[in-house]
Structure 1
Amino acid sequence: MSHGSWLIYPERYRSMTETRTPRPTRTPRAAGDDLGNAWLIVIAVAIGATQLFLVPLVLLPLHPALGWILVPLALTTTPFWSLIHEAIHGALLRDRTRNDRAGRLLAVCYGSPFAMLKAGHLLHHRYSRTRERAEIYDPAHTTWRGAAPAFYLTLLGGLYLLEVIALLLAVLPARLIRALARRVEAPDSVGGLLLERIAEPKVLARFRTDALLIVTVHAAAFLAYGPHGWMLLAAIGARALIISLSDNAYHYGTDLNAPREAMNLRLPRTLEHFALSFNLHDVHHRNPGLRWYELRARFRTEGGHYHLGWFGAVARQFRGPIRLP
């Protein structure tokens, strides 16, 4: 049996209706539902401001050892991304305009334009395990050793790095972005589709505005850190590692051609709350309109089960690329 192929059990006879991403829930949201998320947004922005400016301007002048506060701040990466994820699905705030503005603000602190993160994530929901299956390699085109370097680079921070490098698209005219989209278009990738989306006039305008804000804010932060800039670089590196390690853990080795399926990963309840229930990923993929605080109830109602533990699911990705059956 080829390396890793035992992990895949493709479902060959799914109908189009079974693989189509469901529409978001139409359950009305009360104004009070926004209050908890509003406080989380305030906390997240405060964490971002602390990492970028409070540490270098207030704490480091008192004593360089206070830079260690960046370690627990970096560990808030998962709930920080979870809030952006809620905004992507229009579930963070009741008003769509405020929801998107909050998502854009959080994404500036995160380091990548909200327009791109939203387009990419919605494509993920539509094409997960069909066009998007990051760990799969085709033996007709490459070998395990040939696929491994790019896989491990992506796993160990490369995914986030690509999201940051994408800022360079802001200086390109739309026609060049579309030309690049045609060049990278492939049946086993959503890259071309993502670039086509970014090239749309309204999306590109928001992308450019947010890219300018991201570059300005982070350049100012590095200036504020001065000789301690390596600390901020290390904190961003930790964010890159956390994001890249966890992104595909919910899908690694799961059925192909099943975009509505993912894995629920077991976490202690305290950590589940901390991650804003992102570990209940199978529930989310089948019910993308549910808010983060509604996932646990749906998990219970459906008699849900855990596929793996969260830490085990992250660790098993180090087995490397999986051969297409």
Structure 2
Amino acid sequence: MAARQTLISGVLTTAAAGTLVLQLLILPVWLLPADPRWGWLLVPLALTTVPLWSLIHEGIHGTLLRDRTWNDRLARVLATGYGAPFSLLKAGHLLHHRYSRTRRERTEVYDPTVTTWLAAARGYYPRLLGGLYVLEAASVVLAAMPAAGWRWLVRRTDSLDSVTGLLFERVSKRDTLRRFRVEALAVVVTYAGSAVGYGRHAWMLAVAVGGRALLVSLADNAYHYRTELERPLEAMNLRLPRPLELFVLAFNLHSVHHRHPGLHWHELRGAFHAEADEWHLGWGTAVVRQLRGPIPESALRRR
């Protein structure tokens, strides 16, 4: 079983790394100078963001490889191509598992006694339509901040209504901050170098990254939108045709994952059947209905 898992992870990681090398190096340096129409390759390459994130997600939970050191190394390389430091992605995702649907993390929920729908919408829609990824990628600018600056940032963002302060606190720990800085530098060098390679076609890279931002941000909360509050394990299984389920590495079986975060992606379908779990919505329906916007807290209070 361990050998099989290593083989599967190796093949998938190599494929993901290949798509990143194609997008960030081969396309700008060799293909585009020969014919700008090669730029259309960026459309399907943008779609590979979904399995790319799924592999990084495996790395976050330590299920990419059994050896934790190599698990983190591979995930760190993939996160560099994704465009954000792995340390930040890991800390943020683990906080999501702990605080999802609580006051600290319920993206679409607002308290009508404190704010209005319109005020909530001003923050909700930019995050939904690309802002989440933009914030992840923009975190690289914090790499230059000294330790004292991080302590100030933790104090400024600490709130019972957000995980931001907790996220900065976790990243600011000495060893984690050192890794974060190295990862942020790797992201900056990778994308700055690629942009130079694209030259006058750099706008194509910007559009591709914009597509990634939209995909990541739209999908992030679709599994939790309108689910019950104060239940961190609450999530939805979203129906996809089986080939697409394999393409996203079973990330659509999100309710199963939240109950069993230590399972490998290819074990989720078995757990789904073993527990007689259910489909909650279709994936497309779940993504689109988020456009309805923020929801008052009173509509989702635990029954």
When the two structures are superposed, what TM-score results if normalisation uses the length of structure 1?
0.90
Counterpart in the other structure of 1:250: 223
- One-letter identity of the residue aligned with 1:112: A
- One-letter identity of the residue aligned with 2:62: G
1:271-282 map, 5 Å: 271-282=244-255
Q: State which of 159, 162, 187 in structure 1 corresponds to 2:135.
A: 162
Alpha-carbon deviations, 1:305-325, whole Å to 9, x = none?
110000000000000001111
Whole-angstrom CA distance in 2 between matches of 1:161 and 1:108? 14
The Cα shift of 1:31 comes to: 2.6
Counterpart in the other structure of 2:238: 265
Root-mean-square deviation (CA, aligned residues, Å) is 0.7
- Residue 186 of structure 1 pairs with residue 159 of structure 2: yes
Counterpart in the other structure of 1:121: 93
- One-letter identity of the residue aligned with 1:103: A
Counterpart in the other structure of 2:111: 138
- One-letter identity of the residue aligned with 2:188: V
Q: Secondary structure at the match of 1:216?
A: helix
The Cα shift of 1:177 comes to: 1.2
Gapped regions of structure 2 (runs ≥ 5): 299-303
The Cα shift of 1:32 comes to: 2.6
Q: Which moved more, 1:134-143 or 1:94-103?
A: 134-143
Counterpart in the other structure of 1:291: 264
Counterpart in the other structure of 2:6: 34
Counterpart in the other structure of 1:66: 38
Which structure: greater helix fraction?
2
Whole-angstrom CA distance in 2 between matches of 1:178 and 1:256? 31
Counterpart in the other structure of 1:217: 190
Residue-pair matches, total: 297
The Cα shift of 1:173 comes to: 1.1
Contact 1:31 1:94 in 2 (8 A): no
Whole-angstrom CA distance in 2 between matches of 1:108 and 1:217? 8
The Cα shift of 1:174 comes to: 1.7
Q: State which of 205, 212, 232 in structure 2 corresponds to 1:239.
A: 212
Contact 1:283 1:295 in 2 (8 A): yes
The Cα shift of 1:140 comes to: 2.3
Segments ≥4 residues shifted beyond 4 Å: none
The Cα shift of 1:139 comes to: 1.4
Alpha-carbon deviations, 1:135-190, whole Å to 9, x = none?
11111221001110210000000000000111111010122112111111111210
Gapped regions of structure 1 (runs ≥ 5): 1-28
Q: Secondary structure at the match of 1:279?
A: coil
Whole-angstrom CA distance in 2 between matches of 1:196 and 1:173? 14
Counterpart in the other structure of 1:206: 179
Whole-angstrom CA distance in 2 between matches of 1:61 and 1:170? 34
When the two structures are superposed, what TM-score results if normalisation uses the length of structure 2?
0.97
Q: State which of 76, 79, 82 in structure 1 corresponds to 2:51.
A: 79
The Cα shift of 1:54 comes to: 0.7
Sequence identity (%): 58
Higher RCO, 1 vs 2 (CA within 8 Å, ≥6 residues apart): 1
